[in-house]
Each structure stands twice: as C-alpha cells, then as structure tokens.
Structure 1
C-alpha cells in the first residue's frame, strides 16, 4: 500500500514542512510538501531555491523539529510522512 505522502507514480516520498513566524513570512505559506528521504541540510537547500534568498537567510538560523523532536544530525534522512517544523529564533521578553 502506498503512503498518502508518497507519489504513486514515482515512488518518491515527501514530508510536510510547517513554517512559523519569520519563516512563514519569508516562505509565503504556512506549510507545504517537500522531498522526503533527504537530510535537513539538503532540505534547507531545496527550500531556499524554491522560495529565494529571504527564506534561505531565515533557514540558516532556524531550528528544526522532526515529528516534534529536535533533529541534531542534519544529514540523517528524513522519514517518509514526517512533519518538519521550521522555527526561527524568537524575539521577545
């Protein structure tokens, strides 16, 4: 059975990327699908190319949660169906 986030034609898995705060403003969307099976470093490159320099700049300083857990190994492939939260640094008091 094919997962709902796997393209049945190509078999390529995807993840759901959710943007918060400045990342949302820079991306222009609150969430979107992105390629799965790649590491966070590669995902950052894909998203920067997709949305331009403004988002690429935010992604350089953002933290990432994968399925609600901080991901330290940015080369480890993202699991199919994962939710990746992009959390830029927050200001405030």
Structure 2
C-alpha cells in the first residue's frame, strides 16, 4: 500500500489528511484514482501540486510507486 498525506489546500480539497492506495500506481495514475474518490476539486489541486516520495521530490510522474512509500501532496503555496 501507498500512504498519501495531504497538506494545506490539498487537505481541504480532499476533505481528509490522508488516504491509502495500492502499490504500483504511478503519480499520474494515483492522481486519477484520488480524483475519482475525492472529486474534481482535489483533481484540480493535484494538477498543480508537487509530490514528495518518502521525503524526496519526485518529478517523474510515470514511475511506479513501490509498496510502503509515503507520498506527500504539496499544493502551490502563496505568500511572501
């Protein structure tokens, strides 16, 4: 299983602070799955979000995620 943690606006859009998903999904597939569960509001956030996989920035959204990883969903932050 993959643990998904939502932060800031992603948490608000998801309506929860975490989810679980089967291992083997890519980030793109995970985004589709999470959007189908939580709605298009979260889907919009996921399109602009950054992802950390076990604390490391992940830029390859097509690579399969192994069992046991934690994916942090970080929406764009505003401020100065």
TM range (shorter): over 0.9
| 1:6-51 deviation line (CA, Å, top 9, x unaligned) | xxxxxxxx10000000000000110121121110000000001110
Query: Rg: which structure is higher?
Result: 1
- Measured on the aligned residues, the alpha-carbon RMSD in Å equals 0.6
> 1:68 corresponds to which residue?
55
Q: Which has the higher relative contact order, 1 or 2, with Cα contacts under 8 A spaced 6 or more apart? A: 2
Deviation of 1:53 after TM superposition, in Å, equals 0.7
Runs of 4+ residues deviating >3 angstroms: none
Q: Can you give the 5+ residue segments of structure 1 that lack an aligned partner in the other structure?
A: 1-13
| TM-score, normalising length: structure 2 | 0.96
Q: Can you give the 5+ residue segments of structure 2 that lack an aligned partner in the other structure?
A: none
Aligned positions, number = 80
Does the residue aligned with 1:84 lie in a helix, a strand or coil?
Answer: strand
Deviation of 1:89 after TM superposition, in Å, equals 0.3
> 1:37 corresponds to which residue?
24
